[in-house]
Amino acid sequence: MADERVSHWEEAYREKDDTQLSWHQDDPSISLELCDVVGVDNASSVIDIGGGTSRFAERLIERGLSDVSVLDVSKAALDRSRGQLGAVGEQIEWIAADVTTWSPERSYDLWHDRAVFHFLVDADDRSAYRDQLYRCLLPGSHAIIATFALDGPKKCSGLPIVRYDPEGLCEVLGDRISLVTHREHTHHTPWGSSQSFQFSLLRVGQ
């Protein structure tokens, strides 16, 4: 399954530019707002799961953070993003890996995932993701996880997805995590269609 994901996303990023990617978002305003809710500041460490060519890491660097990592299954996506950012890209740690098989070597204050988790339709993959999240986040740390909402699309990039509301997401992630707040968001693709998302801000307990 992991090898298939690599092939799919490598092809997607090699063949399409950002204006052809339905998930592309120029302004990660909801994610940044939720960062403010938990007090992410210059001393915070953040990892962006499935960051691809997202602008989120760039915005964090602009805010003064110096410990920012981006993980994506597609090396092509990371190479493109790093090239686009120039000198700013040198301040970011780029990790080419599948989150379900990755071996994290450290912890972070914030785990950010916009639109990776909903692609994990296999229960074993969801379990592996959950294990990685808990390896990376100490008690008191936070996660922002955005997925298609219950009224969102049933597929993305030709792949099936699992839709969530905040309560359903927490149930899958287990009782070590609790919901702080959430946001509903309508994402407009580069060609103008609408997709319903939910953004959940979560806190890791003991």
- Strands 67-72 vs 45-49: parallel, antiparallel or unpaired: parallel
> In terms of pLDDT, which residue wins out, 109 or 80?
109
Mean pLDDT along residues 108-112: 98
CATH topology classification for 1-204: Rossmann fold (3.40.50)
Helix segments in 86-186, DSSP class H:
123-136, 166-173
Q: Looking at residue 15, what is its pLDDT?
A: 76
Average pLDDT, the chain: 93
Q: Sorting pLDDT into bands at 50, 70 and 90, what band is 2?
A: low
Distance, CA of 107 to CA of 137 (rounded, Å): 6
Q: Which two tokens stand for residue 83?
A: 């090239």
Residue 147: pLDDT over 80: yes
Convert the pLDDT of each residue in 21-31 to its tens digit: 777 888 999 99
Within 13 Å of residue 177, how many CA atoms lie on the same side as its CB?
27
Q: Which two tokens stand for residue 206?
A: 């003991």
pTM, rounded to two decimals: 0.94
Q: What ranges do the domains of the chain cover?
A: 1-204
Convert the pLDDT of each residue in 160-206 to its tens digit: 999 999 999 999 999 999 999 999 999 998 888 899 999 999 999 96
